[in-house]
Structure 1
Amino acid sequence: MCRPKPKLTATPRPSSFWYAADNGGLRPAGLVPGSGQASARLLAGPLRDTTAVGITVEPAGGSAQPTSEPLGITSLGTASGLLIVSE
């Protein structure tokens, strides 16, 4: 699934990855600090009932639930997608 990217500010901000389940539940999967430098991250925690992974822009330190529209969402399944994000 692809959605239009929300307008970003010139100042780098932290981004959070989220595991999404079929029931609509979301749980944190990792934080990208927002340094403005390219970096790679492994998602944190077990997949369990995860059917998709998304990324959002968040306030410093992250948040318990997404506070912005997703920058991207990729479905997981027999043919897993690859989500590439550059700060």
Structure 2
Amino acid sequence: MEKHKTKLTGIIDSEYFFNQNRQFYLDIKQAKNKNHYLRITRRDQAKDESFTRYEIIFLEDDLQFLVEAMSMLLGRYSSGQLGISA
């Protein structure tokens, strides 16, 4: 994964990953009121080369809970506790 920073768009830090037709961006941004938030963007490429874009935003106050919930869920997944094969 690559990191890239820019102050022009309010992005403080960013990660992204992709496959052939789908791209995911995880951006920590700073709002005009100086609060921080996480923006997760998914961009899907159609057969006609157009893109559809989806975003979800988690405000600074919710990030601690998001990280904790993701950590617990992915921990159960990676340890095989869900009874499914990866």
Instruction: Give the TM-score normalised by the residue count of structure 2.
Output: 0.33
Q: Which has the higher strand share?
A: 2
Of structures 1 and 2, the one with the larger relative CO (CA 8 A, separation 6+) is: 1
Q: Which has the higher helix share?
A: 2
